[in-house]
């Protein structure tokens, strides 16, 4: 079944269901499609907005505003705790992460800076990396 938005000669817009597009054309040609509001037989397809289903991973409603600050605070706290256990390596991050992945350097928890292109290269190489949710201020700039 297919639904069409239809418009009569007067301008009324209504929906109608058909077995197929060709079934609509056939019924229209035989004057079987009529406006339910005024019984006009001059019917054309109206402009329709596509009915695209939302992605399955989306929430059905919006997130309640009152939970956002607490969620962000918890995320920031988790990041702070993780960073306290890792070493800042700055711009050496891509090289250090790659060396650890290849076994050229002992594994350790590190964080640092990298460009988007460098991060994609690391991911393509199978190096386990993840962006941090909040920007990290390098230790050398914290005075």
| Strand-strand pairing, 13-18 and 43-45 | unpaired
| Greater model confidence, 68 or 90 | 90
CA-based end-to-end distance of the chain: 68
Task: Say if residue 143's pLDDT is above 60.
Answer: no
State residue 82 phi and psi, 5-degree precision. Answer: -65, -45
Task: Say if residue 84's pLDDT is above 80.
Answer: yes
Residue 140's closest CA among 88, 79, 86? 88
The most confident of 27-31, 66-70, 76-80, 91-95, by mean pLDDT: 91-95
User: Could you report the per-residue pLDDT of 92-134, keeping only the tens digit for each?
Assistant: 999 999 999 999 999 999 999 998 889 889 999 999 888 888 7
């Amino acid at each position: 079944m297919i639904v069409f938005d239809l418009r009569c000669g007067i301008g009324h817009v209504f929906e109608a269901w058909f077995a197929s597009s060709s079934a609509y054309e056939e019924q229209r040609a035989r004057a079987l499609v009529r406006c339910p509001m005024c019984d006009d037989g001059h019917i054309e397809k109206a402009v329709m907005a596509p009915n695209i289903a939302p992605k399955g991973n989306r929430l059905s409603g919006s997130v309640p505003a009152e939970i956002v600050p607490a969620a962000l605070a918890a995320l920031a706290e988790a990041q702070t705790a993780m960073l306290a256990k890792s070493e800042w390596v700055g711009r050496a991050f891509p090289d250090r992460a790659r060396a650890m992945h290849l076994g050229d350097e002992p594994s350790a928890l590190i964080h640092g800076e990298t460009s988007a292109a460098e991060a994609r290269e690391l991911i393509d190489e199978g190096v386990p990396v993840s962006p941090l949710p909040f920007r990290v201020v390098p230790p050398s700039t914290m005075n």
